[in-house]
Structure 1
Amino acid sequence: MWQEDRHQRIRALLSTLQRVSTERIMADLGVSRETVRRDLLDLEALGELRRVHGGAIKPADEAPIAERAQTHVKSKIAIARAATGFVSSGQTLFIDSGTTTALLAEELAKLANLTIITNSVDVALKLRGASESAESANEVILLGGTLSERSLATIGGTTIAEIQRFRADVALLSPVGIDHRSGATNFDHAETEVARAMVNNADRVVILADYSKIGQRSRIAYCPVNRIDLLITNRKATEAVGFPTLKRKLEQVILA
């Protein structure tokens, strides 16, 4: 089968199923795993799909959080550790939900005298009781609201209203994608509204995005590039097609 024919079949599968496994493509096209890998790389470069563990999804979609937690772990840990260098004792932080911010919570638990406001149950649990001294313990505020069906996080009008009661020094947020045109974007509407409220009520915005998110754009924009004070990503991000243009538009970029 010619390459373009394979690509058309893969596009058709994604259009029908929204998400397709490598095994399904191999069976439908009668080709090897290596051929599928090359085809998915080609189509991802064209922006027609996004590779995930075990297959591919349409570019606007987001993999389940349990699956995302297993991908690019070393890259996310490096980003989380780098982010702590931009946090100071006494600051108030907004942190949204996500696999990268969950790893960030583990690093922040080693620090002290922070007030951390989050809608993520996972982030709150990782930070709870981490400090041995009551005098230097971090204060953790878990925002109320409706529990999301997609992740262990609160969403909705109550969550937004609670965010608006606070003013944070820094919002540390992890989007589905970031590019030079739309800035930081998310897939889920309710989660996006939480992130947008955090942006609007923070003095500085730090975006945590591993290299796979660079140049990617999801459904809903919540933070334009001119509002992003710092992007922390990986050195491999420099290989992304959209990275040079994105970097020129950002105030500061750290490669972890």
Structure 2
Amino acid sequence: MTAPLKVKDLTVAYQKKPVLRNVSFEIPEGKLIGIVGPNGAGKSTLIKSILGLIPRVTGEVEIYGKPYKEQRKLIGYVPQRESVDWDFPTNALDVVTMGRYGHLGWFKRPGSKEKEFAMECLRQVGMDGFAERQISQLSGGQQQRVFLARALAQDAQLYFMDEPFVGVDAATEKAIITLLNNLKQQGKTVLVVHHDLNTVKEYFDWLLLLNVELVGIGETERLFTKEYLQRTYGGRLTMFDSEKESSFMIN
């Protein structure tokens, strides 16, 4: 089967300084993948360069065997919450309905069918009661749920989520991981930029370890080890062992 995502020799630089260097990997379908690495490792840059949001110095990206521009309808994207203009005058339902635009032809406006689909997506994230609420009036966790609902409305096969757990409450975090597992059970592939090492084993079945260069990619059980994590974080990682579990602190 054709891989959902294949990246070859990807290099990205800011002001001639490499942020990603010669990154190559391929992922199988139906995996929940955590993108893990220290600050400045290029995690968000990786997603944005794959999606064509920032230029690459070198590299090729294939989505199900074809260039990204030909496969946009197969992709869902949840950006960092801090990158969104939350003062834009629109309500939650309209934001989610925007996720249907890729399935409409040119100049077509969403109708009742698209609105109903968007409402169902809001229900899945527990936000249907806030459909008419202005997004600026929502809490941080509620705003994140709305953007997850918009990604659901895209009805994609391959999802990219940039730090969806940052700044949300425990209830929202639980709702997000439930949603991600549901997507995986439907055969979708999901890549998530993630910071909390203490939840990695619980949340992800695959990992992509990154620090400018690719450190490793594969099953969490194989890569979530002291050796791989210290290669990824260097001296900034402290590991605490106990009989029951391990915990981590990034210095």
After TM superposition, is the score higher than 0.5? no
The TM-score with structure 2 as length reference comes to 0.32
Higher relative contact order (CA 8 A, sep 6+): 2
TM-score for both structures, normalised by structure 1 = 0.32
